[in-house]
């Protein structure tokens, strides 16, 4: 029996090794095509005080989401959660749960018709320029926020997306205006003094040589307050903090923008956990 030429055997070995080396990077970029791996699933036996909770919502048939995952609400998931929680745990003493970059274990994804939503004080809603809520979800979001919950919105841009977002929020709070959050508001000074406010863009916008999307040239920080002056909703319009977290280790994304995106969100968490 003829054996393979030594050079052929060497080339096959090198190809196998290169495939193994590439597997972790491939899994990081396409985590939902990989099964959970031993040792990777985050364990939380003692019950952490803080979990990253992402809002599930319908998106008026837009679908697609990010990398083909099930809807706009999935954008940047789970990398945004993973890298943000790494920063939160490193920079603060918040007792939080780490999130796996491979399968998202450690984070929560909840819809507003799930009673479990009331167990968590902080809610992240992404691409809310495309969201659609049922009457039950609208009622539950109102109750969640009035009972002490806090919602951060992110990654929606321009006048049309603002209009679609505002219609839903006006259904949630027809009696409460959306207002600009003043520079001296406590949320901007909960841990970091955030006197500098610049537009934090998505990576695709940067690759196109700009920091904005659609007609959303000016970033705004707006919110909705309760009767006691507590900020219930922080509205990040014309910016993309989630992309800045997701690309924390991407050489093409500017470090100062990632650092500022972390500081804003850390302040939001501290504020939510203390109010």
Which residue range forms the structural domain that includes residue 149? 45-274
- pLDDT digit string (tens) for 228-257? 999 999 999 999 999 999 999 999 999 999
Mean pLDDT estimate for the chain: 85
- The verdict on residue 74 lying in a domain is yes
What per-residue confidence (pLDDT) applies to 10?
39
- pLDDT digit string (tens) for 250-266? 999 999 999 999 999 99
Cis amide leading into 78 (omega within 30): yes
The torsion of the CA quartet 70, 72, 78, 84, rounded to 10 degrees, works out to: -170
What per-residue confidence (pLDDT) applies to 47?
76
Rounded mean pLDDT of 137-164? 98
- The verdict on residue 166 lying in a domain is yes
Pairing type for strands 108-111 and 53-56 reads parallel
- The verdict on residue 10 lying in a domain is no
What per-residue confidence (pLDDT) applies to 46?
57
Rounded mean pLDDT of 187-211? 96
What per-residue confidence (pLDDT) applies to 59?
83
Number of domains forming the structure of the chain: 1
- The verdict on residue 9 lying in a domain is no
- The verdict on residue 163 lying in a domain is yes
List Cβ neighbours of 239 (8 Å cut-off, separation of 6 or more).
154, 155, 199, 200, 201, 219
- The verdict on residue 30 lying in a domain is no
User: In angstroms, what CA-CA distances link 81 with 98, 105, 161, 166?
Assistant: 9, 10, 24, 26
Confidence of residue 163 (pLDDT cuts 50, 70, 90): very high
List Cβ neighbours of 146 (8 Å cut-off, separation of 6 or more).
226, 232
Statement: residue 16 has pLDDT above 70: no
Least confidently predicted of 1-5, 27-31, 51-55, 224-228: 27-31
Whole-angstrom Cα distance, residue 70 to residue 65? 6
- The verdict on residue 25 lying in a domain is no
Statement: residue 88 has pLDDT above 60: yes
- The verdict on residue 34 lying in a domain is no
Pull the structure tokens for residue 240.
């993309």
Q: What is the CATH number of the domain that holds 152?
A: 3.40.50.12140
What per-residue confidence (pLDDT) applies to 247?
96
3-state secondary structure 215-270: CCCCCEEEEEECCCCCEEEEEEECECHHHHHHCCCCCCCCHHHHHHHHHHHHHHHH
- pLDDT digit string (tens) for 30-67? 333 344 444 444 455 457 899 999 999 998 655 444 33
């Amino acid at each position: 029996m003829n054996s393979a030429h030594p050079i052929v055997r060497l080339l096959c070995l090198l190809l196998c090794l290169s495939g193994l080396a590439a597997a972790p990077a491939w899994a990081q970029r396409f985590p939902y095509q990989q099964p959970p791996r031993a040792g990777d699933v985050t364990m939380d036996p003692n019950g952490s005080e803080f979990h990253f909770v992402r809002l599930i919502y319908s998106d008026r048939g837009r679908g697609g989401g990010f990398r083909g995952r099930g809807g706009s609400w999935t954008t940047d998931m789970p990398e945004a959660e993973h890298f943000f929680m790494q920063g939160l745990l490193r920079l603060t003493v918040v007792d939080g749960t780490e999130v796996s970059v491979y399968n998202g274990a450690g984070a929560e994804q909840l819809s507003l018709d799930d009673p479990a939503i009331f167990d968590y004080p902080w809610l992240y809603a992404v691409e809310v320029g495309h969201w659609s809520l049922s009457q039950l979800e609208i009622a539950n979001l109102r109750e969640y926020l009035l009972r002490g919950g806090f919602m951060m919105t992110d990654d929606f841009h321009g006048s049309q997306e603002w209009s679609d977002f505002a219609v839903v929020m006006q259904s949630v709070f027809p009696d409460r205006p959306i207002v600009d959050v003043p520079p001296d508001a406590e949320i901007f000074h909960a841990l970091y003094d955030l006197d500098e406010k610049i537009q934090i863009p998505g990576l695709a916008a940067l690759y196109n040589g700009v920091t904005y999307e659609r007609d959303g040239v000016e970033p705004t920080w707006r919110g909705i307050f309760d009767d006691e002056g507590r900020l219930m909703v922080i509205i990040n319009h014309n910016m993309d903090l989630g992309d800045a977290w997701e690309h924390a280790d991407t050489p093409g994304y500017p470090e100062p923008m990632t650092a500022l995106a972390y500081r804003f969100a850390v302040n939001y968490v501290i504020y939510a956990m203390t109010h």
